[in-house]
Structure 1
Amino acid sequence: MATGLLALLDDISALVKVSAASLDDVPAQVAKTTGKVSGIVIDDTAVTPKYVVGLDPSRELSIIFQIAKKSLFNKVLLLSPAALLLGFFAPWAIPPILMCGGAYLCYEGYEKVHSMFSKHTDEHVEAEEGLKVISAEELEKERVTGAVRTDLILSSEIVAITYATVADKDLTTQIAVMLSVAVFITLAVYGFVGLIVKADDFGVHLAKENHHPRVRSIGRSIVKLMPGFLKALGYVGTAAMLWVGAEIIAHGIPFTSHALDNLEHSLASIPILAWLAKAVACGIGGLILGAIIDRIVRLFRKKA
């Protein structure tokens, strides 16, 4: 009896040691994964502020909190379990799902670029005819829905890349890393977005008469710079959307994946130039793919 109990305690001790060793590896895996998804994180951070532009400033943080809450819910309770199940039962399905998400990002990125440069008056007329008056609450709900939809695609890519990074690890490590990445990235992205959208209010506060002239000058500069900064951030978000979407698709196709790797290796002696060349190539490819998808979508709309 005593021998059996000692054996059981030894087994439990061994199991605890294995679990502890696995958990010790979690921070390193989280850091590794965060580096791999940096492009998507930039995209998410740059795109989100536009969803609160033009809304009541007093509602900005509430809207961001709503988006962040739904983003975390999607990552933790929907996407991570789905990735684990797919990884166990149908690992072959993950790359096609990733590529579909990448195609959507390219399509949405192209739509944004097209809207920047399109000057077709008939489209403007059609848009004006389709305008309808909605309340502030309805507009807020519409913005949150749009932000969550875009975030869902980006979150799917983040979760899938995270799973791919730890696919060869034990289940405990997989779950711990995926949950850690989901929480860390959500807090980082939406915390930074909150700082961005409230920066103008902070500038107004600094510009008040009761502060030192130099502090007031800094406050006024922040207020003046923020509109241009938000506009530039929107451009960065669009570029990142095309770049990330195209890179995801490229890595799912052997030929284009090898071409990107060869481009990067050919400029390996100048890392910044290698990164820039890869990003530009993906951005142009994403724009072309987005244009093709847009034509297909328009064709189906006409038939419908």
Structure 2
Amino acid sequence: MAGLSLIALLDDIASVLDDVALMTKVAAKKTAGVLGDDLALNAQQVSGVSADRELPVVWKVAKGSFKNKAILVPAALLISAVAPWLITPLLLIGGLFLCFEGAEKLHHAKSASENEGSSDDDALAHLSVEDFENQKVKGAIRTDFILSAEIIVIALGTVQIESLTTQLTVVSLIALLMTVGVYGLVAGIVKMDDVGLYLVNNSQTKTIKHYLGSGLLTFAPKLMRSLAVIGTVAMFLVGGSIVLHSMPGSHDVVHALLTMLPDMLAQNAIVAGVTPILIDGLVGLLAGFIVLMLVTGIQKLRS
């Protein structure tokens, strides 16, 4: 009897692990889009620090991301169990904040251009190295909090009908995998130029290693500059998607807009895939500048 009980227990454990693996795979697919945005935003956020401080800064942000998820995972499970209606308003606030940050970046870039400035980093140039680092880390962790919340809610949505144990396991695994994946890639991106320099300095000319190192040295600064643009665009896309899908009937509106396209375009897979993304971006842009105007107006009234 004891042997049969042990076999039954092992069978139950195997069944639970199969369910967890399947649900984790589904959740990972659904959160993959946010992973790309998270990567672009965080790589751009930690850029601008000195080369010898890049990895320590990435590690600081990664630790902040782990803390964010340590707060968000139990909070999401608790809200889902006690007040599931709160998840959508909280996500809407987070989406609006991302749109606002994107609009603020564009506004600052325009102001800097008019005043012959160049970037947000120039505005922080008067700070000490430590204060500059802290500002970058705080901004990255703040952005990570919003994206982490979206990742966790999406993951939770895939296992909402499962047991609490399965929910906790799947959401925790997704949170861990996303954090390790994102900040591992961010570390690789910010150290790409150092790897290229090492290859060039430790190889003879006209060898594959030398050409690879030269290519990395050429590509790294272009990638970092492009991430500044990609990161801002990602804020509007992710934020706009959250805002749009937090509104009742948004799916019907998007579907109606798609049906207004000519048949030739509507049946094109690329057009059908790109159109919702463009709508998310436009909604994010509009929402961001509305919030920016409201915030600026309140600041002027208070001053």
Indicate yes or no: 2:242 matched with 1:248.
yes
State the AA in 1 paired with 2:283.
Answer: G
Moved more, 290-299 or 35-44: 35-44
Moved more, 170-179 or 247-256: 247-256
Cα pair 2:243 2:284 within 8 Å, conserved: no
SS in 1 for 2:201: coil
Cα pair 1:43 1:238 within 8 Å, conserved: no
SS in 2 for 1:254: coil
User: Aligned residue for 2:155?
Assistant: 162
1:37-59 CA distance string (max 9 Å, x none): 22321111001122332312111
Q: CA deviation at 1:302?
A: 0.9
1:67/1:123 CA distance change after superposition, 3 Å: same
1:219-239 CA distance string (max 9 Å, x none): 222212211111112211211
User: Aligned residue for 1:191?
Assistant: 184
Cα pair 1:40 1:240 within 8 Å, conserved: no
State the AA in 2 paired with 1:292.
Answer: I
Cα pair 1:42 1:237 within 8 Å, conserved: no
Q: Which of 15, 20, 24 matches 2:14?
A: 20
User: Aligned residue for 1:139?
Assistant: 132
Runs of 5+ in structure 1 lacking a partner?
1-5
State the AA in 2 paired with 1:170.
Answer: S
SS in 1 for 2:134: helix
User: Aligned residue for 2:102?
Assistant: 109
Q: CA deviation at 1:101?
A: 0.6
TM-score by length of 2: 0.87
Moved more, 26-35 or 111-120: 111-120
Indicate yes or no: 2:49 matched with 1:55.
yes
Moved more, 173-182 or 28-37: 28-37
Cα pair 2:27 2:155 within 8 Å, conserved: yes
2-structure distance, mates of 1:96, 1:123? 40
Q: CA deviation at 1:184?
A: 0.5
SS in 2 for 1:53: coil
SS in 2 for 1:213: coil
State the AA in 2 paired with 1:219.
Answer: G
1:43-82 matched pairs, under 5 angstroms: 43-75=37-69, 77-82=70-75
Q: CA deviation at 1:131?
A: 6.8
Q: CA deviation at 1:248?
A: 1.2
Cα pair 1:106 1:246 within 8 Å, conserved: yes
SS in 1 for 2:249: helix
1:198/1:132 CA distance change after superposition, 3 Å: closer
Cα pair 2:99 2:236 within 8 Å, conserved: yes
State the AA in 1 paired with 2:295.
Answer: V
1:137/1:191 CA distance change after superposition, 3 Å: same
1:88/1:206 CA distance change after superposition, 3 Å: same
1:37/1:131 CA distance change after superposition, 3 Å: closer
TM-score by length of 1: 0.87
Cα pair 1:47 1:238 within 8 Å, conserved: yes
User: Aligned residue for 1:289?
Assistant: 287
Indicate yes or no: 2:213 matched with 1:222.
no
State the AA in 2 paired with 1:277.
Answer: T
User: Aligned residue for 2:173?
Assistant: 180
Quote the sequence identity (%): 37
2-structure distance, mates of 1:120, 1:64? 29
Cα pair 2:91 2:242 within 8 Å, conserved: yes
1:197/1:122 CA distance change after superposition, 3 Å: closer
User: Aligned residue for 2:301?
Assistant: 303
1:119/1:233 CA distance change after superposition, 3 Å: closer
Q: CA deviation at 1:132?
A: 7.6
SS in 1 for 2:162: coil
SS in 2 for 1:23: helix
User: Aligned residue for 1:231?
Assistant: 225
2-structure distance, mates of 1:132, 1:69? 25
User: Aligned residue for 1:150?
Assistant: 143
Q: Which of 275, 278, 293 matches 1:277?
A: 275
User: Aligned residue for 1:3?
Assistant: none
